[in-house]
Amino acid sequence: MENWKNLIDYRDLVVSIVGIGRIGLPTALMISNEGFKTYGIDIDQILVEKINTGGGDPPIPYLTDEPELENLLKKALKSKKLKATKNFRDYAIQSDLIILCIPTTITEQKVPDYSDINQVLKEIGQLKESLVKKIIIFESTVGPNYIEKIAIPLIEQVSELKINQDFWVSSCPERANPGNIIESLLTIPRIIGASNNYARNIVSYFYKTVFKVPIFKVSNIRTANSVKLIENIFRVVNIAFANELSQLIRRLDIDYMEVLKGATTKYNFLIHYPGPGVGGPCLPSNPYYLIDDGYKVSFTPNLITVATEVNQRQPFHIIELIFEGLNKINKPIANTKIAILGISYKANVKDVQFSSVIPILSELKKNKAIIGLYDPYYKEEEVLGFKIEKNHEFIRKDFPIIVIHTDHNEFKSLNFKEFLCECKDLKVIVDCHNTYEYKEIPNKIYYIGVGRPMKYIEKENYK
């Protein structure tokens, strides 16, 4: 341990980050800018080149929505502490820590897809005796038992080495909030479990040194993985609660947003807002890691399963709201121009992974609507099979209905709201995030906010 402590204190420790995406890159930047020689390893040659040249053109998506990363990247490149590479073996071999930030996902059958991470584990195993005295740290989200029951045996088998004797494994799941990664890394405590106390102490000392956040050591690896899953599934369940109630409460002619405001005056209530569904790299897939481990011990968590279903069905509720609006103005869906504003899964990020816009677009297309798409993070790009408009001006012409899918700041601005008032053909707004207050609704427009009864104001009330 003294030796490791010295390596860390004198910045002689060398670190490989495998997977330099939304989590891996910021992590690599923080580590290299703290003075550690850092290798960012990824199979994506274009990504590797972009990183080595300071961001690329067009820039990496998460440099678009987290612009402070660019400065950190420049700093890291200038100091020559960071190097991106496709070559796993040659750089991993030189590293003391191998940190895995490989995205994990689920298959169409909604079971965890560990194929990418398993592939990397095999490569780690193939380091053979070069793996001796290294620590492998999992930041990727995986099932509670995956590391202990699948990953470690796999490395042991391929390497013919022994855990805790030849090498160590630790779990330090990332807990960062996309769109706000650097602040997350610098503020949210880290949960650390490891294959033994020795490794746990080293990894804890390293993370404390780099990120300066509180370290919460847990008994073992499976506990660390569970913490990560439980905190995200808590959000899945509570967003499902909001989504389910948004549907029921509006049917009772009650405004769920008003109910929420009232409920937050109670000390033990925590607000979660309804929306068009859940998306992104974590919430749609995380429950299935736990459900999968549950199946293996014959325990199906019904509440969590239903919660995922409620969220998956929410985009179809948005379709219902669109139909409700179309009915009001006596328009069929076929051949009607429908503008979708925002395609990202959440506000102010450039990311359509599992975005609820995907099933919404698919339903609209099936019903032969004429779709216009705009998202400030995807101007003029082709995404999800659609060409994204350059700006929102296209709405002016013949669009009787708009759907505010993502609550990007642009759509919340007064300018934008004023623009909508100028759209003479606009008759219906479907607002998936209640971006509008009732009092802001342009006059003579059917306004349908998720969870809220439809509102129509005859007289001029918007300035």
Residues that bind a copy of itself (CB under 8 A): 144-145, 175, 187-189, 191, 214, 216, 218-220, 222-224, 226-227, 230-231, 233-235, 237-238, 240-241, 244-245, 247-249, 251-255, 258-263, 265-270, 290, 293-294, 297, 299, 301-304, 306-307, 309-310
Give Cα separations from 336 to 257, 316, 330 (angstroms).
Answer: 30, 18, 11
| 448: enclosing H helix or E strand | strand 446-449
Type of residue at 264: T
- Biggest alpha carbon distance in the chain? 78
Type of residue at 128: K
Residue where the block lists tokens 């003391």: 96
Closest approach, Cβ 301 to a copy of itself, in A, equals 5
Separation of alpha carbons 462 and 455, rounded Å: 14
Using alpha carbons only, give the angle 456, 460, 461 rounded to the nearest 5 degrees.
80
Closest approach, Cβ 186 to a copy of itself, in A, equals 13
Nearest to 444 by CA among 430, 431, 427: 427
Beta carbon nearer to a copy of itself, 401 or 450 = 450
Beta carbon nearer to a copy of itself, 142 or 395 = 142
Beta carbon nearer to a copy of itself, 58 or 214 = 214
Closest approach, Cβ 54 to a copy of itself, in A, equals 32
Closest approach, Cβ 395 to a copy of itself, in A, equals 31
Beta carbon nearer to a copy of itself, 235 or 412 = 235
- Our measurement of the distance from residue 299's CA atom to the centroid of its chain's CA atoms, rounded to an integer in Å, reads 27
Nearest to 452 by CA among 211, 234, 260: 260
Closest approach, Cβ 331 to a copy of itself, in A, equals 26
Type of residue at 283: L
Beta carbon nearer to a copy of itself, 297 or 414 = 297
Closest approach, Cβ 253 to a copy of itself, in A, equals 7
Beta carbon nearer to a copy of itself, 83 or 452 = 452
Cα dihedral 352, 356, 359, 364 in deg (nearest 10): -100
Beta carbon nearer to a copy of itself, 132 or 271 = 271
Closest approach, Cβ 90 to a copy of itself, in A, equals 36
Q: In this structure, are strands 112-113 and 135-138 parallel, antiparallel, or unpaired?
A: unpaired
Nearest to 347 by CA among 67, 65, 69: 65
Beta carbon nearer to a copy of itself, 125 or 287 = 287
Q: How many CB atoms lie within 10 A of CB 244?
A: 18
Closest approach, Cβ 218 to a copy of itself, in A, equals 6
* Pure H helices in 376-447: 409-412, 414-422
Q: How many CB atoms lie within 10 A of CB 289?
A: 26
Beta carbon nearer to a copy of itself, 31 or 290 = 290
Closest approach, Cβ 275 to a copy of itself, in A, equals 15
Contact 316, 356 (CB under 8 A): no
Closest approach, Cβ 302 to a copy of itself, in A, equals 5
- Please state whether the peptide bond connecting residue 58 to the residue before it is cis, i.e. omega within 30 degrees of 0: yes
Those residues with Cβ within 8 angstroms of residue 114's Cβ, 6 or more apart along the chain or in another chain: 104, 142, 146, 150
Contact 277, 349 (CB under 8 A): no
Beta carbon nearer to a copy of itself, 130 or 238 = 238
